Amino acid sequence: MLTKIHVLPVCIFVLIPFSFLLTYCIAVSLNHVEVGFPYISDTGTYVPESCIFSQAINLVSFLLAVFMYVQYKHVEQHYRDHLSSEFTIVLKLNRWAVLVGWLGCFGVNITANFQETSVIIVHMSGALIAFGCAALYSWMQTVISHYVCPLLNSVLIARLRVFFSLIQTAAFVTTLVAGIIAHQNFHGKDPTKWHEEDGGFTAHVISTGAEWLLVMAFDFFILTYAREMQNISISSPKIHFITDDLTFQSREFYHSEDRINITTSQNSLRTVNSLPNNSYPEYGKENVLTTQAIVH
């Protein structure tokens, strides 16, 4: 059984800014980007920071996918035995939320592994998927938070999630619109080193600032789940043993001192007997299953 699940959102909260700040410092020290207001992906465009950027963001996307699945099962478990009118609404929204979240994780992977200087269309498509799905996932989880309040989270947490979702939405739109305006007015040589004389500098600063704000708002949104995940644990999955004619769960036949004799014939199953370990008669073509060989 896994406990201390609340460590997962905390790790994500720490890893996201640490990864970006690390690659930013490397990129600035090697003169790959300007000190002021680069896009996040600009800090992971050139070697060697691109290698660190890709690995770190791949890890972040994996942890996010795990977090989203845990949150999905958290809500599902809470509503498993509820038959109220809210039951169908919440469970459907919960299923769609985890799918949207996983799509966003896929977009994060694309953004990290396809640099803008190599395949700009793929990189930008991944960024749009990642940021758009992040904002949408936050809104879907915010709605769920209000349904499960106050059993899974407090009213304050639900309102905080509204606040962070609003910031993400506004920042996403600002990043997109200001970025388009900036690139339409850009007449410099290297967009990763944007100067005032290159044109569209003000729009560029607004776009990059909004992008950093979007990421940090999502980062704090994930952190809001740390407290409620202190109250849950995860059990190991059940293993089913399958033969031609039956399916066992491990708990159904685990006996350390027994020897179970099984005979199958034409889609039928009959248990002949259960004998001590020191008894070994001949059973012809019967299938013998010794439970001592089963390891959990």
What are the tens digits of pLDDT across the range 138-192? 999 999 999 888 888 899 999 999 999 999 999 999 999 999 999 999 888 888 8
DSSP calls for 231-283: G--BPPPPPEEE-SS-EEEGGGS--TTEEEEEEEETTEEEEEEEEETT-----
* Nearest-angstrom CA–CA distance, 144 and 44: 35
Three-class secondary structure of residue 180 per DSSP: helix
Mean pLDDT score of the chain: 82
**Of 281, 273, 271, 278, which Cα lies nearest the Cα of 292?**
278
* Nearest-angstrom CA–CA distance, 99 and 84: 24
Token duo for residue 50: 């691109």
252 close to 294: Cβ distance less than 8 angstroms: no
Give the pLDDT of residue 87: 65
* Nearest-angstrom CA–CA distance, 104 and 26: 27
Residue range 20-39, pLDDT digits in tens = 999 999 999 998 988 888 99
Give the pLDDT of residue 209: 95
Q: Calculate mean pLDDT across residues 236-247.
A: 72
Give the pLDDT of residue 240: 79
Half-sphere exposure of residue 165: CA atoms within 13 angstroms, side-chain side: 17
If pLDDT is split at 50, 70 and 90, which confidence band does 247 have? low
Residue range 119-139, pLDDT digits in tens = 889 999 999 999 999 999 999
The lowest-confidence range among 51-55, 128-132, 149-153, 240-244 is 240-244
Kindly report the pTM of this predicted structure: 0.78
Give the pLDDT of residue 181: 94
Residue 22 makes CB contacts below 8 A (sequence gap 6+) with: 52, 56
Amino acid at 234: I
If pLDDT is split at 50, 70 and 90, which confidence band does 279 have? very low
